[in-house]
């Protein structure tokens, strides 16, 4: 495998960053996880817009233009023959001194991995996923704002550990008010009274690219959709519930803290959105080009 690292492609064995990189020392950096379908990168521009917004929020100047990053992503896929897979694009603060001061870092590190993707097991798409509520809360927006897709994922990892210890694979995270924010790596939606609803970003959700696609599909299908504050009660009593993410796509939720949602199996709106999402991913995207 060839990895894009600071402007050039290197062998996997040579794709190394320094122990003095603040991405490693402090989780100081930003990233994106992007899907490739059928030789096309899905919503690449939206991912890059979010990357630049995340970088701006942490005062990190990405040493490449958006066009250069598009080219590097496409080339990473071509070189590694990734026509269906996953791109991990990472920008760290770069190599600096020991000490928090990010301004000792001369130049941000940029790397791109294009690889296969590890998906959720097939069963969750057929039967629905079981969710638990984590005791670990989503960061307060006045701490690291959850809208920033930063390398600082420990909070989410702690919630993920809770999910795995509870015998499942994904957890719901509440914000400090006790409202539902999102899951550890996925946004969450309910369907109730024929309406699709998801927590507002201000409740601690990432501005998910897949989340945005759900709003587009809902408009196309004439299903009312919008943001709403949601509690655990709202999830438990919803007609349907599903989670979304670039890796996960659209996953039906079977149970929330052991309460079956709707019929305890994927509901009609969720199934329709899954099918439409699948169609969309195969009909658009930035072509990786030939080689
Ligand atoms: N919330 C969080 C906290 C995320 O990290 C999402 C929601 C969904 O956003 P998108 O833009 O993907 O619809 C994410 C994204 C991984 C992986 O390697 C995680 C994500 C995306 C791709 C891969 O676990 N999370």
State pLDDT tens for residues 53-91. Answer: 999 999 999 999 999 999 999 999 999 999 999 999 999
| Cβ of 156 below 6 Å from ligand 1 | yes
Query: 241 CA to middle of ligand 1, Å?
Result: 18
How confident is the model over 248-277, as a mean pLDDT?
97
- CA dist 223 → 192, 199, 213, 219 (Å): 11, 17, 13, 6
Q: Is 86 left (phi over 0), alpha (psi -120 to 50) or beta?
A: beta
Q: For 179-215, write each residue's pLDDT tens digit.
A: 999 999 999 999 999 999 999 999 999 999 999 999 9
- Domain ranges within the chain, ordered by starting residue: 2-115, 122-281
Q: What is the CATH number of domain 122-281?
A: 3.20.10.10
* Smallest CA separation from ligand 1 atom 15, residue: 185
| pLDDT above 90 for 250 | yes
pLDDT at 290: 82
Residue 48 contacts residue 32 (beta carbons within 8 Å): yes
| pLDDT above 70 for 225 | yes
Q: Which atom of ligand 1 is nearest to the CA of 50?
A: 11
pTM comes to 0.97
Query: 246 CA to middle of ligand 1, Å?
Result: 6
Computed over every residue of the chain, the mean pLDDT equals 97
Instruction: Indicate the top mutation candidate among 47, 161, 246, 281 to test ligand 1's pocket, ranked by most ligand atoms within 8 A of CB.
Output: 246
Q: Which atom of ligand 1 is nearest to the CA of 212?
A: 13
The domain over range 2-115 is classified in CATH as 3.20.20.110 = no
| Cβ of 185 below 6 Å from ligand 1 | yes
* Smallest CA separation from ligand 1 atom 4, residue: 185
How confident is the model over 140-167, as a mean pLDDT?
97
| Cβ of 170 below 6 Å from ligand 1 | no
Residue 21 contacts residue 94 (beta carbons within 8 Å): yes
Backbone angles phi, psi at 187, to 5 degrees: -80, 160
| Cβ of 182 below 6 Å from ligand 1 | yes
Query: 187 CA to middle of ligand 1, Å?
Result: 8
pLDDT at 291: 64
Residues with active-site annotation: 149
How confident is the model over 37-52, as a mean pLDDT?
98
Confidence of residue 118 (pLDDT cuts 50, 70, 90): confident
Confidence of residue 15 (pLDDT cuts 50, 70, 90): very high
- CA dist 231 → 183, 197, 203, 223, 226 (Å): 13, 12, 11, 22, 16
Neighbours of 218 (CB within 10 A): 21
CA dist 122 and 83 (Å) reads 21
Residue 102 contacts residue 59 (beta carbons within 8 Å): yes
pLDDT at 187: 98
């Amino acid at each position: 495998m060839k990895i894009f690292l600071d402007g050039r492609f290197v062998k996997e064995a040579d794709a190394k960053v320094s122990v003095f990189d603040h991405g490693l020392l402090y989780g100081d950096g930003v990233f994106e996880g992007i899907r490739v379908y059928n030789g096309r990168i899905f919503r690449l521009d939206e991912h890059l817009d979010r990357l630049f917004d995340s970088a701006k929020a942490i005062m990190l100047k990405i040493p490449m233009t958006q066009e250069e990053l598009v080219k590097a992503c496409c080339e990473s896929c071509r070189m590694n023959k990734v026509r269906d897979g996953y791109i991990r694009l990472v920008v760290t603060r770069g190599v600096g001194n020991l000490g928090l001061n990010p301004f000792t870092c001369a130049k941000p590190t940029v790397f791109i991995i294009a690889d296969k993707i590890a998906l959720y097991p097939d069963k969750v798409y057929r039967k629905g996923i079981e969710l638990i509520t984590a005791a670990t809360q989503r960061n307060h927006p006045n701490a690291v704002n959850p809208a920033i897709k930063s390398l600082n994922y420990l909070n989410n990892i702690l919630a993920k550990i809770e999910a795995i210890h509870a015998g499942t694979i994904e957890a719901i995270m509440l914000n400090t008010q006790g409202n539902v924010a999102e899951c550890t790596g996925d946004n969450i939606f309910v369907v109730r009274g024929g309406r699709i609803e998801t927590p507002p970003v201000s409740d601690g959700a990432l501005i998910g690219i897949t989340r945005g696609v759900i709003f587009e599909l809902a408009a196309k299908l004439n299903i009312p959709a919008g943001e709403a504050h949601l509690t655990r009660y709202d999830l438990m009593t919803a007609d349907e519930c599903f989670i979304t993410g670039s890796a996960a796509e659209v996953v039906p939720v079977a149970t929330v803290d052991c309460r079956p949602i709707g019929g305890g199996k994927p509901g009609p709106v969720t199934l329709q959105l899954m099918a439409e999402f699948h169609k969309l991913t195969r009909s658009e995207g930035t072509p990786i080009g030939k080689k």
